[in-house]
Structure 1
């Protein structure tokens, strides 16, 4: 491996989330020092993923089949549609095993600063799914950020003309959380979302 190939690998790794130039250099050295057990299998797995992974045209999930396994699963509740910002949010909800409906991946959030408007997101396909399908509830599982909440309000307005219930995730104190360690926004949301104990 020449120095230019090493530099290219470092530059590519430094583009990954959570990696900077230093961590990319450390990862590159680790991969090269374990060429047979790590670098070669990783390169093969990445090539296989590049060749086979597709974006589901129905929901936006990633899978090797079209439509994805979630969309094909007849056991899932087709009347419930959970809207998420990106695939990582879908995977997080799936790990929890708390939701057994279908998903819709927006591909981001509305952001005036970044120039992301409704046309850059998968909003029209969401509207199509609501009008064509048997959807009775749309759950807006968007992050509690300014852009996430702006997107939630926009979607709520767009969906108000349809006979569909629009809900959002509750925000507040996490299970096992201690009040002293929570930020002001989380505490405020928890107080506003309080409910009776009985």
Structure 2
């Protein structure tokens, strides 16, 4: 029946609307609309930046969570900081993050973050299983093509009885960094401490 209805296009329909022209127009419009929705403008696609640990297997010093003093520091390995490398437009605003340090096996004490850029983390805590958690915030202004560095310092958990002298424990460090646009960057590394 459609062949009969569409077999003759009158001279009025040639320059105007016909059912066939409307259907063709809709068929071509749908992919264009879907593409426009699925591919947002570059400005709306988030901050272009990477985050990485600095010196992830460096020789570092752990201070006691109970305070420092002569003979209380312990040696170990871990990162000396982390950095944010900006590969897009300027990053301005506040970053926040969480720090989680979990034992890699059975341990007698935990390790934690002493400071980030010389500022202690907020709400640091150790669980009964010696898992450490803490958080931080920092204002940033990172120009396009620049890298911001955040030095870190670590501590060991002061427990009684203390682990046997010479015992080495290993841990997994996870820092989840939230950038001003709400996107996350996750950094993981390994820590060791020798008592």
- TM-score of the alignment, normalized to the shorter chain, above 0.5: no
TM superposition score normalised by structure 1: 0.23
TM-score normalised by the chain length of structure 2: 0.23
Larger Rg belongs to: 2
Structure having greater relative contact order (Cα 8 Å, sep ≥ 6): 2
